[in-house]
Amino acid sequence: MAFATTDLTTQTARWTRKDLLGLRELSAEEIRGILQTAGSFREISLRPIKKVPVLRGKTVVNLFFEASTRTRTSFELAAKRLSADIVNIAPQHSSLSKGETVLDTVRNLEALKVDILVIRHAAAGVPHLIAQHATSSVINAGDGAHEHPTQALLDLFTIQEKKGRIEGLNVSIIGDIAHSRVARSNIWGLTKLGAHVTVCGPPTLIPPQIERLGHVAGGAGVAVTHDLSSAIHGADVLMLLRIQHERQEAMLIPSLREFRLRYGITRERLEAAKPDILIMHPGPVNRGVELDSSVADGPFSVILDQVTNGLAVRMAVLYLVSGAPKVDEEEG
């Protein structure tokens, strides 16, 4: 497939946002536009020279207050493949560790004329706060248990790639829903694009009123079950989530062994699944807890395809926000 420059021009013209903060605020049309743009960029990673000059002269800053392997690395590679300059800031080695506030840090980065800030933070809403004060574009790389929009976009991209559609599919999200920003962003994205979403886990890990999330998004509601067999039965996609110990104030399950017994995906349990089921996981995977190695590495798993597609999706997001009118351009 050739690099579809005309498609990219059309998508840039349609994209009007300075920032990408979450899927809740995006329309189905905007989500489809990002996925189409990512389709154009995916081809670049298959070339012998994996670089295009579309962000030459732009500077991207990765500001990650929480650990990351996939998201931080793929944003860095995405920026490099678009010929942008990229700076990685580790808060523990910056003046944040001396008491400088996040907003002062951002003001200082902006004084250095950066263009895009990619932010991950343990507190929900930090990227939104920064976006209100920054003239640079802000991309949310995960804020607390709130949203992880680029993860959901790469999940949508992978489902579309493997199934040829999203509308009408049955997607079950299983595990620690309460503390998962991936679950929230996926619920917004999947319901807006017409999928039927079921969440499954122990009652302590399912937040109250979760059924209404899809309705708020203007899509169908979300079904809830605490029974794993019901979540597997008829599902086209199983999206597994790890138990997020770092976001739990109290132990909400008796033990990991107990969780595995009731909710772990084993090869035996998959015998009741559709023959073309997709097994997805955003990573990091806790093998032997939410899913066994035989499933994580098995024929239905698309876990590493998700990672590969994350690069194309993040290239698309960097490209789109970089072309959006900034406040002073709009006013000028």
Is 185 one of the binding residues for ligand CP (CB under 6 A)? no
Return the residues of window 140-179 that contact ligand CP according to CB under 6 A. Answer: 142, 151
**Which one of residues 5, 16, 27, 69 is an interface residue with ligand CP (CB under 6 A)?**
69
SS3 9: helix
Among the residue ranges 69-77, 122-130, 190-198, 255-263, the one whose residues contact ligand CP (CB under 6 A): 69-77
Is 121 one of the binding residues for ligand CP (CB under 6 A)? no
Q: What's the token pair of residue 239?
A: 């999206």
Is 68 one of the binding residues for ligand CP (CB under 6 A)? yes
- Count Cβ atoms below 10 Å from residue 204 Cβ, excluding itself: 14
Smaller CB separation from ligand CP, 52 or 312: 312
Task: Answer whether the bond into residue 254 is a cis peptide, omega within 30°.
Answer: no
Smaller CB separation from ligand CP, 42 or 70: 70
**Which one of residues 18, 42, 58, 70 is an interface residue with ligand CP (CB under 6 A)?**
70
**Which one of residues 71, 136, 140, 322 is an interface residue with ligand CP (CB under 6 A)?**
71
Among the residue ranges 65-73, 129-137, 222-230, 235-243, the one whose residues contact ligand CP (CB under 6 A): 65-73
SS3 of the chain: helix, strand, coil, percent, to 5: 45, 15, 40
Listing DSSP states for 176-199 in one string gives --TT-HHHHHHHHHHHHTT-EEEE
Supply the minimum distance, in Å, between the C-beta of residue 283 and ligand CP: 5
Number of residues lying near ligand CP (CB under 6 A): 9
- Which residues touch 61 (CB under 8 Å, ≥6 apart)? 86, 87, 88, 89, 109, 114, 116, 117, 118
Supply the minimum distance, in Å, between the C-beta of residue 285 and ligand CP: 10
Is 194 one of the binding residues for ligand CP (CB under 6 A)? no
Is 282 one of the binding residues for ligand CP (CB under 6 A)? yes
SS3 97: helix
Smaller CB separation from ligand CP, 69 or 135: 69
DSSP conformation class of 73 = H
Listing DSSP states for 35-54 in one string gives HHHHHHHHGGGGSSS----T
Residues contributing to the site for ligand CP (CB under 6 A): 68-71, 142, 151, 282-284
